Amino acid sequence: MLHELLVHTNFNRVRAEAYAISLRDHLIDIGYIAAICSNLTFHGNEKQMTKYTTQIADEINLIAIHTFNYLCSSLANAWPNVFHQIIEEKFKSLEITSPSARLLGMLIDSALQVIGETGEKNYQYQIMIAKIGGQEQFYEGLLNYCSHKTGVYGHNVIINRIKLNLSDFESIELQDGKMLKLRNFALKLNSTLKTEME
């Protein structure tokens, strides 16, 4: 059931968190009902009631821990394949055959909205899409933070992510500066590639 939830929502973290909160509320209800049932079943016998409710509480705890661990590891494992899949789906849904810079910008903006709610929390993302040319290309990046895929509707796609500490405003400003530098580098690289291909 958890796997189906994640796959069906394309590893959407917001929906996974909503499910976890709903499950938590249901588990609390089950614990409350178990306490009432133990009182009725054991006619107020403290020892038997405690044994019964402790057993139920242990089972509830196992369910909660398993769910939390499964959701966290699954969301972490969404990188980078699910992110590239989102971009491919955007290409397909927007029916982009010969994209202009404006259309690619729209595609990136649309993809970033979905990607921002996908996978692990506290990451900021950038996407670069470049037309595949006849020139030889080289790519290198840290696999946990940068991913490259070729042949996406005739384009190379690079997704970059930077971990943020959202409680530290100085860190956010620093990361925004890094992302701006990376964006400027990508624009310069794209311009150079266009010039070389002409």
pLDDT in tens, 124-176: 999 988 887 766 666 666 788 889 898 888 888 999 998 887 666 666 667 66
**CA angle at 196 for the pair 193 and 198, rounded to the nearest 5°:** 110
Q: What is the pTM of this model?
A: 0.75
User: Which of 121, 105, 123 lies closest to 187, judged by CA?
Assistant: 105
Inform me whether the pLDDT recorded for 33 exceeds 80: yes
> HSE (CB half, 13 Å, CA atoms) of 192?
7
C-alpha to C-alpha distance for 130 and 138, rounded to whole angstroms = 13
Return the biggest CA–CA distance within the chain: 87
- Return the minimum-mean-pLDDT range out of 29-33, 78-82, 99-103: 99-103
Q: Which two tokens stand for residue 47?
A: 């020892």
Inform me whether the pLDDT recorded for 20 exceeds 90: yes
| 46-76 and 13-41 helices, crossing angle to 10° | 170
Report the share of the chain in percent with pLDDT over 90: 49
Evaluate whether 143 touches 37 at the Cβ level (below 8 Å).
no
Evaluate whether 163 touches 121 at the Cβ level (below 8 Å).
no
Give the number of other CB atoms < 10 A from CB of residue 91: 20
C-alpha to C-alpha distance for 176 and 118, rounded to whole angstroms = 20
Strands (E), the chain: 123-131, 146-152, 155-163
